[in-house]
Structure 1
Amino acid sequence: MAKLAFLGLGVMGYPMAAHLVNAGHSVTVYNRTTAKAEKWASDIGGSFAPTPREAAEGADFVMACVGNDDDLRSVVEGDDGALAGMKSGAIFVDHTTVSALVTRELAAVAAQQDVGWVDAPVSGGQAGAENGQLAIMCGGADDHFAAAKPIIAAYSKGTVHFGDVGSGQLTKMVNQVCIAGAIQAVSEGLYMAMQAGLDAKKVADLVSQGAGGSWQLANRAGTMVDNEFNHGFAVDWMRKDLGIALAQGKDMGLSMPVTALVDQFYAEVQQMGGGRWDTSSLIQRFRKMNDEI
């Protein structure tokens, strides 16, 4: 058992921190909205602190799952940031999806204080967090990853080390690129089935059993056909992630035409008021183009 801090109690962080308590760890949480941290402590049985620094004091590991690069900097740096309270030898485990650039930048600052860093973005969505079934892709020194892995196990179904700091974030970019292309393909296929007068759910069930199968088809086809999108991973966050991937690709001199196109399709969904819809809402573009919504 370890003394832990968890920073950020969104739809992912709230259940992830709870899994750590259920695994027997001592957990202090911080959230920008203190009322949510108070509720978590009341519901789960851990404790909360008013600043990241106070949450991190004495902790063996500090976990974070916040919004973006700037949010991460805000909970790590400064007089009230986590690094100001972390002890020598502690390890910061970042579950936020951010750029590899900010990851390496903050890891270097942490190293000056003898604090380890593991970038560990996750995949599996809200359901994966709630069920403790996240796929976690990690970067960092071998010894830091080895120390963090048993802690992370409280909410993971698979945790893989890909290399030095930043490698986890690069792997997450690959993950999001693959998801974007898959959702667009499922959207086109399902809409074609509906326009052809087929039972799209039955089509999805069968296709899922063959070479055309995917997680998106198996888990999102039903709600896509039923026009239900108030769940899952928000379009706003997907655009943030794709922006990170496209910027990385540009730096590497890569051509990523499908990712760039799907990113623009998501921009259209945002313009429709769907920024908080699930990423499977790409199919709404077809409905709008045909005046169905």
Structure 2
Amino acid sequence: MTVTAAFIGLGVMGYPMAGHLAKAGLNVRVWNRTQQKAEQWAKDFDGKACASIAEAVADADFVMTCVGADKDLIEVFEGDAGIIANAPEGAILIDHTTASSGIAERLAKNAAARHQGFIDAPVSGGQQGAENGMLTIMCGGDQGGFTKAEPIMNHYARAVNLMGPAGSGQKTKMVNQIAIAGLVQGLSEALHFAEQAGLDAQKVVDVISKGAAQSWQMENRSGTMIAGEFEHGFAVDWMRKDLGICLQEARRNHARLPVTALVDQFYGDVQEMGGHRWDTSSLIQRLRKK
């Protein structure tokens, strides 16, 4: 039998992710707050653009969401017009939004009351990873729901892992963002130092990237950082949202995140420079600012 999948939210990540499902032969229905985008997706891929969430999720085996934040999840999941009220019993709800662990726990509980499965499944890999079907997905939920959901997520992922109960996927994504924040700031300071020291920054990277300083950020972002190019990648506004979630969770679990809090402030400086949509590697620009 053909699997029916609904995809809610067709941003820079959701659009290609839903496309991979269509290419894999699933019966895909999509809904987006902006109807025109859903209609454009249906022209680009073999699937149906729906006028409402209820229409999209009716009789769906799986419902994927990729929206903005907690408030957006409440809007699309809850209420009479939402996913939980309109998806059938037995459906597996998979949320790819980066959000709080609290909202994941809340939605998992509400879905269970309707005999639906819920997996919080934030992703890492950015727009390029979504387009290439090479995302890393960290999941929270029960083993039964995960076992059903994993083959579906594999259509747009290179790695899918269950990290624990509901909320664990979101907490793991927080760890990811905390690590990235420190790495990008360290790389920014290193490249800025190289420039101030009169070194050829690209030659420096060519040398140190072969040793212990190597990182994904160095391999994929150092060139554009040196060139001062930031109109790509994961936006500063999105990173600040994510770091806010990290700091909120840290207050709840009593983790100490001094560097993360500082880098969050540095991203605030980048926003004041007009870099709201610049890539996160733009931290180096605040060091260059005279």
Provide the TM-score with structure 1 as the length reference: 0.97
Question: Structure 2: which 5+ residue stretches go unaligned?
Answer: none
Query: Is 2:23–2:46's contact at 8 Å kept on the other side of the alignment?
Result: no
Equivalent in the alignment of 1:76 = 77
Per-residue deviation, 1:67: 0.4
Equivalent in the alignment of 1:263 = 264
Equivalent in the alignment of 1:159 = 160
Pairing 1:16–2:17 present: yes
Tell me, in whole angstroms, the C-alpha distance in 2 between the residues paired with 1:37 and 1:205. 43
Share of identical aligned residues, percent? 58
Tell me, in whole angstroms, the C-alpha distance in 2 between the residues paired with 1:213 and 1:97. 27
Pairing 1:39–2:37 present: no
What letter is aligned with 1:56? V
Per-residue deviation, 1:78: 1.5
Equivalent in the alignment of 2:135 = 134
Tell me, in whole angstroms, the C-alpha distance in 2 between the residues paired with 1:44 and 1:236. 30
Equivalent in the alignment of 2:276 = 275
Tell me, in whole angstroms, the C-alpha distance in 2 between the residues paired with 1:247 and 1:230. 29
Pairing 1:150–2:151 present: yes
* 1:121-180 C-alpha deviation (Å, 9 max, x unpaired): 000001000000000000101000000000000000100111101100000000000000
Describe the SS at the equivalent of 1:96: coil
Tell me, in whole angstroms, the C-alpha distance in 1 between the residues paired with 2:111 and 2:275. 38
Pairing 1:59–2:68 present: no
Equivalent in the alignment of 2:241 = 240
Tell me, in whole angstroms, the C-alpha distance in 2 between the residues paired with 1:116 and 1:196. 56
Describe the SS at the equivalent of 1:158: strand
Tell me, in whole angstroms, the C-alpha distance in 2 between the residues paired with 1:3 and 1:271. 45
Tell me, in whole angstroms, the C-alpha distance in 2 between the residues paired with 1:117 and 1:41. 26
* 1:11-45 C-alpha deviation (Å, 9 max, x unpaired): 10000000011111110001110000000001112
Pairing 1:197–2:204 present: no
Per-residue deviation, 1:213: 0.6
Question: Structure 1: which 5+ residue stretches go unaligned?
Answer: none
What letter is aligned with 2:178? V
Per-residue deviation, 1:245: 0.6
* 1:247-281 C-alpha deviation (Å, 9 max, x unpaired): 11111112110000000000111111111110000
Provide the TM-score with structure 2 as the length reference: 0.98
What letter is aligned with 2:53? P
What letter is aligned with 1:178? A
Per-residue deviation, 1:51: 1.6
Per-residue deviation, 1:205: 2.2
Tell me, in whole angstroms, the C-alpha distance in 1 between the residues paired with 2:271 and 2:212. 32
Equivalent in the alignment of 1:181 = 182
Per-residue deviation, 1:209: 1.3
Equivalent in the alignment of 2:251 = 250
Pairing 1:90–2:95 present: no
Runs ≥4 residues deviating over 4 A: none
Per-residue deviation, 1:80: 1.7
What letter is aligned with 1:63? M
Tell me, in whole angstroms, the C-alpha distance in 1 between the residues paired with 2:199 and 2:96. 41
Equivalent in the alignment of 1:123 = 124
Per-residue deviation, 1:84: 2.1
Tell me, in whole angstroms, the C-alpha distance in 2 between the residues paired with 1:97 and 1:53. 23
Query: Is 1:3–1:61's contact at 8 Å kept on the other side of the alignment?
Result: yes
* 1:184-237 C-alpha deviation (Å, 9 max, x unpaired): 000000111111121111211221211001100110000011111010000001
Query: Is 1:6–1:62's contact at 8 Å kept on the other side of the alignment?
Result: yes
Tell me, in whole angstroms, the C-alpha distance in 2 between the residues paired with 1:245 and 1:279. 16
Query: Is 1:93–1:148's contact at 8 Å kept on the other side of the alignment?
Result: yes
Describe the SS at the equivalent of 1:162: strand
Equivalent in the alignment of 1:224 = 225
* 1:74-96 C-alpha deviation (Å, 9 max, x unpaired): 11112221112200100100000
Query: Is 1:5–1:59's contact at 8 Å kept on the other side of the alignment?
Result: yes
Describe the SS at the equivalent of 1:89: coil
Query: Is 1:7–1:65's contact at 8 Å kept on the other side of the alignment?
Result: yes
